[in-house]
Amino acid sequence: PQGWWRHPDGSYGWAGPVFWPFAHDDLTTAIIFGDATSLSLYGYGDIYAALFTPYAATELAAYTVPQGRRARKIPSAETLCEASDTGGLPVERIASAVAPNEPQRAALDELASAWLAARDTISTACPAQAPTSASERLGLMRERLEAMIKATDAIEASLAKFVGLLNDDQKSRLNALANERRAALASRQPRDSKDSQKDAAKEASKDAQAAKACRPDYDPRYDEKAQRQYEQLVQQQWPAADIASTLHLDEIARARFEVLQDTTLRTMQTLSACPTEPAATPQARLAAVKARLATMLEAVGSVSDALDDFEFDLSDEQKAGFEAIGPKRGA
C-alpha cells in the first residue's frame, strides 16, 4: 500500500513493528554498489512514524503475502523479520569482476562469512513482539541502528584485507561495479519523449533545490518557499491541537511537547537526503555509511530524550491518550 510512511523509492522505513526491514540489503547496496539511495531516505518520517504509528492491520498483513493474493492474517514480528534481508554479499559477481587468485578468493570467502555474520547481528535486533508505545518504538530504532553500526564494524577488517590483496587493475574493476549499477539504472529511464524531457526538467529543478538546501550556509528560515513547506508539514502531520485538547495538557506539559515537536522536526535537516557523489571505493563508502548511521542514532536519541521529558509528569491516562492519537488518525 502507498501510505505516506513508504519511502519515495518504494522501500519501507517500518514494516509494522520492524524498523528498517531491509537493513542488511541496504548496507550491501550502498557499500558494494555505491547506491545509498534507500539508506539516505531514512530520517524524519520514520521517527515521526515511531511517535505516531499509522499502520492498519490489513496493510501490515499484506506485507508478507505474494502479489495478487489476499492476506489472511496479520504476520508476527518474527515473520516480518524472516521476510526481510534474505541476501548476502554478491560473491560470484565480485569474483567475476576481479578474477581473484587463490589467496584473494580465500579472503573473499572470509569477507562473505563476515557479511553473513553481520546480517545475523542485525537480525538479533528484530523485536520478539510488536512495541506498544512510542518510547518502545524509539528504543527499537536505537537497537536496530546500533546493530547496523556493529555489523559495519564486523566487516571492516575483512573488507580491508580483501581489497588490500588486489592489484590496481582489480581494484578498478571492483570499484567499477558501482558505475555499472548506475548505468543499468539510467538505461531503464525512457528517452527522447516529450514526457521524459518534462520529467528530466522537473528532476533538474528538484536537484537544484536539494543542492541549495545542502549548502553549509543554507538556512531554511530565510527561504520563503521552504518556510511555507515547513509550516504546512507541521500543520498537516503534527496533531498538536488534538494532543493538547485530548490530554488536557497544562502549561508545563505544553512547553515540553513543543520541545519534542521541535526536536523531531530538526531531524529533517540533520537527516536530509542531500545529493552527494558516492565515494569511489567500498572502504570509503563503508565509512560514509557508518557516519550516516551514527548521525541517525544521535537524532533518534535526542527525540527519545525529549519524549521522556514530555511524558515524565503525565498520568497513565494521558500516556494512553497520547498512544491512541496515531491509530485514531490512521483509521
Closest CA to 162 of 92, 115, 109: 109
Instruction: Return d(Cα 305, Cα 288) in angstroms, integer.
Output: 26
Task: Decide if pLDDT at 18 tops 90.
Answer: no
The cell 544521535 sits on which residue? 298
Task: Decide if pLDDT at 110 tops 70.
Answer: yes
Asked if residues 263 and 302 have their Cβ atoms less than 8 Å apart, the reply is yes
Confidence of residue 52 (pLDDT cuts 50, 70, 90): confident
Task: Decide if pLDDT at 105 tops 50.
Answer: yes
Confidence of residue 96 (pLDDT cuts 50, 70, 90): very high
Out of 27-36, 105-114, 273-282, least confident range? 273-282
Report residue 278 CA to chain centroid gap.
17
Mean pLDDT of the chain: 79
Q: Give me the mean pLDDT over the 185-190 stretch.
A: 57
Instruction: Return d(Cα 241, Cα 239) in angstroms, integer.
Output: 6
The pLDDT, as a whole number, for residue 145 is 97
Instruction: Return d(Cα 55, Cα 19) in angstroms, integer.
Output: 13
Of residues 105 and 279, which shows the higher confidence score? 105
Q: What is the pLDDT of residues 294-321, one digit of tens each?
A: 999 999 999 999 999 999 999 999 999 9
Confidence of residue 38 (pLDDT cuts 50, 70, 90): confident
Residue 49 — φ and ψ, nearest 5°? -65, -30
Q: Give me the mean pLDDT over the 18-31 stretch.
A: 90
Q: Give me the mean pLDDT over the 107-114 stretch.
A: 96
Q: What is the pLDDT of residues 118-175, one digit of tens each?
A: 999 999 998 888 888 999 999 999 999 999 999 999 999 999 999 999 999 999 999 9
The pLDDT, as a whole number, for residue 132 is 84
Task: Decide if pLDDT at 26 tops 80.
Answer: yes
Report residue 54 CA to chain centroid gap.
17
Instruction: Return d(Cα 14, Cα 45) in angstroms, integer.
Output: 10
232's grid cell: 504546512
Highest average pLDDT, of 16-20, 71-75, 301-305, comes from 301-305
Task: Decide if pLDDT at 326 tops 60.
Answer: yes
Q: Give me the mean pLDDT over the 315-330 stretch.
A: 82
Q: Give me the mean pLDDT over the 98-106 stretch.
A: 97
